[in-house]
Structure 1
């Protein structure tokens, strides 16, 4: 694999982008997976946007823009030495900040958007995965990229199976293919060992599949 391509793939598929990717897929390819979504989408708007677009933008701002801004602030104030966060020392504080943000987001959706329980549950599973990554990263460098992309695969696959949604067949296949490329990219860049990739994959799949199968 070309090093430049591996770097671009790692940046484009950053773990913090996975919630946006999951919900963009569900909202626009399999909206029937989200209870009441089409009903409220046809009757409600967020400014000039449809409800679906408004929700997706809110998720993007809360789960990507806000954590990225906080991580950049940590870098500017010298709490971390490198934005790539390749060492355990650089990962610990940003991960704890991300845990706090994602926990807040999960609680916010749980109590303020009760008409969409599936969204709250998926966000809660993501918050739990990030918490697990943050804890493990106190001692060992597990692959957050593997956790993120495998969690995405697990969420989409679990929903497709449980709700028998044929519309998610191709998105799941594409997600699996992308996961393979991304993990290969992380290995090519020597960002992680095979063990760290495998551990991340197992963590992401187990958490996302468990939440979908048992709670949605």
Structure 2
């Protein structure tokens, strides 16, 4: 069970959530974009949100700033999370501008807001689960798209609900978090993503 939980934690790692959201946006919505634009945006997201974090985590480990890639302590999570927030700002400012990519623009702003809360919580030795936060953010994002575009994503939503349950259970089995940290991660992911319709309709 432990090995299966480790596999689930890797496959459903929060580092893949931004890329998954971008793929959902381009391939599940009835909005036309040139194929070259789609390709360039996906590749850019892959580089900034997946490859660069992996490179820097390896760099941090080499310098012994972290003991493992799982970032087991609150103190070890601070510097990587700060770096990830900087990368999020790069995506917001240079990859998905508001005019053409409104939903993704607000999605990444919501992730940044959630990351700030997680970062602050670390100083109180409370490790909010990034796995549950990431998956609940992606799930809420898909539900918002389904509602706003009047599209039936029921199977995709059900799949993400299952993924959320699996990854949350896996984090508890691995004792990476206590239940409250997983629950707060889920709630935080939902609440911050709900800023998408708030920003969209009220232009806050």
Same fold (TM over 0.5): yes
User: Does the CA contact (< 8 Å) of 1:187 and 1:193 recur in 2?
Assistant: yes
2:10 aligns with 11
TM-score, scaled relative to structure 1: 0.86
Could you tell me how far apart the structure 2 residues matched to 1:156 and 1:101 are? 22
Per-residue CA shift, 1:88-118, capped at 9, x if unaligned?
Answer: 111111111111111221122355x742222
Could you tell me how far apart the structure 1 residues matched to 2:168 and 2:150 are? 28
1:128 aligns with 113
Q: CA deviation at 1:17?
A: 0.6
1:57 aligns with 43
TM-score, scaled relative to structure 2: 0.90
Per-residue CA shift, 1:112-139, capped at 9, x if unaligned?
Answer: x742222222122222222221221222
Could you tell me how far apart the structure 1 residues matched to 2:186 and 2:65 are? 29
Does the alignment pair 1:160 with 2:159? no
Q: Describe how 1:33-52 pairs up with structure 2 within 5 A.
A: 37-38=31-32, 40-41=33-34, 45=36, 51-52=37-38
Could you tell me how far apart the structure 2 residues matched to 1:202 and 1:109 are? 27
User: Does the CA contact (< 8 Å) of 2:141 and 2:193 recur in 1?
Assistant: yes
Structure 1 unaligned runs (5+)?
46-50
User: Does the CA contact (< 8 Å) of 2:103 and 2:196 recur in 1?
Assistant: no
Residues 9 and 212 of structure 1, relative CA distance in 2, 3 Å threshold: farther
Q: Describe how 1:55-204 pairs up with structure 2 within 5 A.
A: 55-111=41-97, 114-139=99-124, 140-166=126-152, 168-204=153-189
1:48 aligns with none
Q: CA deviation at 1:214?
A: 4.2
Per-residue CA shift, 1:20-57, capped at 9, x if unaligned?
Answer: 112212222x222xxxx41x316xx2xxxxx2232112
Following TM superposition, where does structure 1 have runs of at least 4 consecutive aligned residues deviating by more than 3 angstroms?
A: none
How many residue pairs are counted as aligned between the two chains? 200
Q: Which moved more, 1:179-188 or 1:120-129?
A: 120-129
RMSD: 1.7
2:29 to 28, 31, 35: 31
Q: Which moved more, 1:16-25 or 1:125-134?
A: 125-134
Q: CA deviation at 1:213?
A: 5.2
Could you tell me how far apart the structure 2 residues matched to 1:204 and 1:54 are? 27
Could you tell me how far apart the structure 1 residues matched to 2:102 and 2:51 are? 23
Residues 213 and 155 of structure 1, relative CA distance in 2, 3 Å threshold: farther
